[in-house]
Structure 1
Amino acid sequence: MSRPYNIYTDGSAVNNGKPGARGGYGVVCESDRSRDTSGSFTHGNQTNNRYELEAIKKATEIARDVNHRDINIKSDSEYAVKSLNTWSKNWEQNGWRTSSGQPVQNQDLIQSINRNVSDLRASGKNVGFEHVRGHQTDYHNNEADRLARTAANSNPVHEKY
């Protein structure tokens, strides 16, 4: 059995949750660093959780072009991994409402990632999401964090956070 294709993701937001926040994402492909990418957006909420999901969305897009059957997307965001592995099934059944009846935050990204994963699985790929501890000794996770922070710091200040 061959090793899975590991993609590490991270999101960052300077002044997270406050006016003037700036966000960015970073994606690192363990076995093909030429596919590494980072970026930010000049629209939308500039929050850490949103950029964690933006990074994962980008990883699912990269996975389309990878010549591996098994794709493992690693994130240090428990929120993002649980959103995709556990909570989204219940949210969808509840009309994209939380257990308290509130609209699910970032549902547009979660739905987009779920569609990408469905497409990948339909093409014969196995895709999984794994939580890894952040800011530890995992080189590739630290590289994704570095890319995300660099992107966030180069992103212009936004009114909307």
Structure 2
Amino acid sequence: MVYKIKIWIDGGCRGNGNINAIGAAAAISIDPYEKEEAWQFMPSNRLRPVTNQRAELLAVIIALQQAWAKCESLDDNPWLDVEIHTDSRFVIGCMTNWIEKWSRNGWTNSMGCPVVNQDLIKRTYELQMRLKEEGNVEYTWVPRGENVEADGLCNKLMDKHS
């Protein structure tokens, strides 16, 4: 049996990289029975500096954690098919093109420098590899206009804390 989970994610930041920046990450999941769940997270001081890229990576972490929690809650141990939809080309590049190379190269980039945001990227890699033992994880780029709900959750949370 295959259990499909579709998740739309978004991360955002106001005042990108500044000391008073406000960021948020959100993920919205639709399970096979079309039930919708939403998760959101406000990056705290321990995640400084708050940047758009860090918020986007946090959205991936939220999605992968929730997919793993769903996997653990299922009784019949099905093959998991996780689809993560994002409007971030950065996330797509990290998770599909660069992450395996960085891991093999000791978390250095092609110029020999340490990978930026590797704390969050390592966490996404760990979660992704764990999920891949139970199924498949795919990332799909969507235009920003098709990611309205996840974007809306991020903006609401940032509005709340502005």
Same-fold call, TM cutoff 0.5: yes
- State the alpha-carbon separation in 2 of the partners of residues 64 and 90 from structure 1: 24
Bigger fraction of residues in strand: 2
1:105 Cα deviation after fit: 1.2
Aligned to 2:10: 10
Aligned residues: 150
Partner SS, residue 49 of structure 2:
coil
- State the alpha-carbon separation in 2 of the partners of residues 6 and 154 from structure 1: 27
- Within a 5 Å distance, the mapping from 1:5-154 to structure 2 comes to 5-30=5-30, 31-33=34-36, 35-43=37-45, 44-66=48-70, 67=74, 69-122=80-133, 124-134=134-144, 136=145, 138=146, 141-154=147-160
1:108 Cα deviation after fit: 1.3
Per-residue deviation, residues 63-92 of structure 1 (Å, max 9, x unmatched): 023356211011111101110111112212
Contact in 2 for aligned 1:13/1:149 (Cα 8 Å):
no
Per-residue deviation, residues 38-84 of structure 1 (Å, max 9, x unmatched): 12122222111101110110000110233562110111111011101
- State the alpha-carbon separation in 2 of the partners of residues 39 and 154 from structure 1: 12
**Identical-residue share of aligned pairs (%):** 29
Contact in 1 for aligned 2:18/2:49 (Cα 8 Å):
no
- State the alpha-carbon separation in 2 of the partners of residues 82 and 4 from structure 1: 23
Per-residue deviation, residues 127-158 of structure 1 (Å, max 9, x unmatched): 11111111x2x2xx2100011122223346xx
Tell me the TM-score normalised to structure 2 length.
Answer: 0.83
| RMSD, aligned α-carbons | 2.0
Tell me the TM-score normalised to structure 1 length.
Answer: 0.84
- State the alpha-carbon separation in 2 of the partners of residues 103 and 32 from structure 1: 41
- State the alpha-carbon separation in 2 of the partners of residues 94 and 155 from structure 1: 39
- RCO higher in structure (CA 8 A, sep ≥6): 1
Letter in 2 for 1:110: I
Partner SS, residue 4 of structure 1:
strand
- State the alpha-carbon separation in 1 of the partners of residues 159 and 116 from structure 2: 24
Contact in 2 for aligned 1:91/1:97 (Cα 8 Å):
yes
Contact in 2 for aligned 1:11/1:54 (Cα 8 Å):
yes
